[in-house]
Chains A and B, each alone.
Chain A
Amino acid sequence: MSEQNGQKRAAKTHREKVGLAEMLKGGVIMDVTNVEQAKIAEDAGAVAVMALERVPADIRRDGGVSRMSDPEMILGIKAAVTIPVMAKCRIGHFVEAEILEALEVDFVDESEVLTPADEENHVDKHAFTVPFVCGARNLGEALRRIGEGAAMIRTKGEAGTGDVVEAVRHMRAIMSEIRQVAGSRPDELYTLAKGFQAPLELIREVHRLGRLPVPNFSAGGIATPADAALMMKLGAETVFVGSGIFKSGDPAVRARAIVESVLFYQEPKKLAEISRNLGEPMVGINVSSLGEKELLAPRGW
């Protein structure tokens, strides 16, 4: 294993990629747009930060093409914190992904929040040393992304709305489809793979494990400690909070409260205490008031 091809150490295996995702379990990953916010996030107890120029709520408001962030701001955030730093590339934009890998970010989010660069192919994530997280709305989508090499799955939800309804829909779909696969007979898995449009080997793994083969996180519309705890109760292993923190009245206080709510998601009395006096939440948009063209979740397939 060592000293092959002149390399001292083993090449990056899937184990190290999934391993980092395992280390982030039970935590909160926060979107930050500058060094000051990154420090607030780290102080509040974030397990990682997502460095991006505009949070999804602003991307939604501004419109236009949304791309990978300026490497300068990503490097600035990397220098400012000691926790892992993630960054987003456009769906299918493998050169943005290569640039993010060259910047040595710790995780790349191939994200529907940015404007897709390829409407048929996602990035071949096996070809990279850096691990990837991808969004999914259901089990088939999750397993297609894992088949491409994703080391972490998150629900898509509907980013930038502060409305948790889509994250709930996606997590419920993923969990109930996992139960369906786990409870099926082995000779039924072929037809299930066909139905879910997912690789048979991964359907078999879900059948064997009773869960996704990689950590299953949640994102998209989480704005309060109760939202975060709800997603944990539905099966999320960590939550991403995007616009919900820095679009609220008192980000430092809210960030800390959401971190605590993930630790104590099973204890309503603690959640009641944690939820007190957090100031104004982000205003938010009802997902049901959005037109089909305004939705981000259908991006990626």
Chain B
Amino acid sequence: MPVGAKSAWYTVFMLSRVGVVAVQGDYERHILALRAAADGPLEVVEARVPEHLDGLDGVILPGGESTTVGLLLRRYGLGEALVEFAASGRPMWGTCMGMILMAKDIERGRPDQYRLGVLDVTVRRNAFGAQVHSFEDEVPVRGLSEPVLGVFIRAPVVVRYGPGVEVLSEYEGQIVAVRQGNRIGTSFHPELTHDARFHRLFLGL
């Protein structure tokens, strides 16, 4: 593929084969956003069973219902495979439900709620309340010069974080984006906007 010098530099350092966990939720929106964000060739895989993670450079856990997806991740072994995937040092990003699933602890979840425990945070589910309290607003993000449009839908927030965790974003005093190494969690949904910067950030991890 003919690329200019700058693009070639990018393609070397960008992820080229990325999975989106496609058990339930808005994974199609992430797939579209990844395609829009990619400078070079990018293969995007829908991950439903453990084998789908083979050979991926990174994985995204989308928005959706954490109780539903947690149940299915446990039942079909994809959860265990995702824990191994994270342990291998490859990048992982969870939006909303994705961040809840990645968290070590969950507040306002079900008592036995499944989680991967790969992000050393406690996440509070539905922190802003029912759907009528969903909203969007500008949110500053560390590492991005301009704020992003944060779309918060029955969104969670981070209420505790461990020593290895960096806060990427706060909104009205609540932590809404975190990073631990190359694992990222966001309360909001960049995939529902036309702003590709967050997906580009992920592809550059």
**CA separation between A106 and B23, bound complex, in Å?**
22
Structural contact, B71 and A45, CB atoms closer than 8 A: yes
B11-19, B81-89, B130-138: which lies at the interface: B130-138
A22 and B134 in contact (CB under 8 A), knowing A82-B108, A263-B23? no
Structural contact, A20 and B134, CB atoms closer than 8 A: yes
For residue B130, which residues in chain A have a CB less than 8 angstroms away from its CB? 78, 104-106
Closest to B131 in A: A106
A20 and B153 in contact (CB under 8 A), knowing A26-B23, A45-B67, A130-B131? yes
A2 and B137 in contact (CB under 8 A), knowing A19-B151, A259-B72? yes
Query: What 0/1 readout, one digit per residue, does chain A (197-215) give for beta carbons within 8 Å of chain B?
Result: 0000000000000000000
A19 and B134 in contact (CB under 8 A), knowing A25-B24, A82-B108, A263-B72? yes
A6-14, A159-167, A169-177: which lies at the interface: A6-14
For residue A48, which residues in chain B have a CB less than 8 angstroms away from its CB? 65
For residue A20, which residues in chain B have a CB less than 8 angstroms away from its CB? 131, 134, 153-154
A44 → chain B, closest Cβ, in Å? 8
Q: What's the dominant secondary structure at chain A's contact region?
A: loop
B177 within 8 A of A: no
**CA separation between A9 and B152, bound complex, in Å?**
11
Structural contact, A19 and B153, CB atoms closer than 8 A: yes
Query: What 0/1 readout, one digit per residue, does chain B (18-61) give for beta carbons within 8 Å of chain A?
Result: 00001111111100000000000000000010000000000000
Query: What 0/1 readout, one digit per residue, does chain A (1-33) give for beta carbons within 8 Å of chain B?
Result: 110000011101101100110111111000000
For residue B185, which residues in chain A have a CB less than 8 angstroms away from its CB? none
Query: What 0/1 readout, one digit per residue, does chain A (81-107) give for beta carbons within 8 Å of chain B?
Result: 011100000000000000001001111
**CA separation between A23 and B96, bound complex, in Å?**
10
Closest to B125 in A: A82
Closest to B96 in A: A23
Interface residue ranges of A114-163 to B (CB < 8 Å): 129-131
Structural contact, A83 and B65, CB atoms closer than 8 A: yes
B110 within 8 A of A: yes
A112 within 8 A of B: no
* Among A8, A42, A84, contact of B154 (Cβ-Cβ < 8 Å): A84
Query: What 0/1 readout, one digit per residue, does chain A (22-56) give for beta carbons within 8 Å of chain B?
Result: 11111100000000000000100111100000000
A23 and B136 in contact (CB under 8 A), knowing A15-B192, A82-B110, A82-B126? no
For residue B108, which residues in chain A have a CB less than 8 angstroms away from its CB? 82
B68 within 8 A of A: yes
* Among A16, A82, A84, contact of B136 (Cβ-Cβ < 8 Å): A16
**CA separation between A130 and B67, bound complex, in Å?**
22
**CA separation between A129 and B133, bound complex, in Å?**
9
Per CB-CB distance, the 6 closest pairs between chain A and chain B, nearest first, are A106-B131, A22-B26, A9-B135, A26-B24, A104-B130, A47-B65
Assuming A16-B151, A22-B63, A47-B64, what are 19 further A-B pairs, CB within 8 angstroms? A2-B137, A8-B172, A9-B137, A12-B132, A12-B134, A13-B136, A19-B153, A19-B189, A22-B25, A23-B154, A25-B26, A42-B110, A47-B24, A82-B109, A83-B67, A84-B154, A104-B132, A106-B130, A129-B132
- In the assembled complex, 26 residue pairs joining A and B whose CB atoms fall closer than 8 Å, in A order, are A1-B137, A8-B172, A10-B135, A12-B134, A16-B135, A16-B136, A16-B153, A19-B26, A19-B151, A19-B192, A22-B26, A23-B25, A23-B63, A25-B25, A26-B24, A26-B25, A27-B65, A27-B68, A46-B68, A47-B24, A84-B65, A104-B130, A129-B132, A259-B68, A259-B71, A263-B48
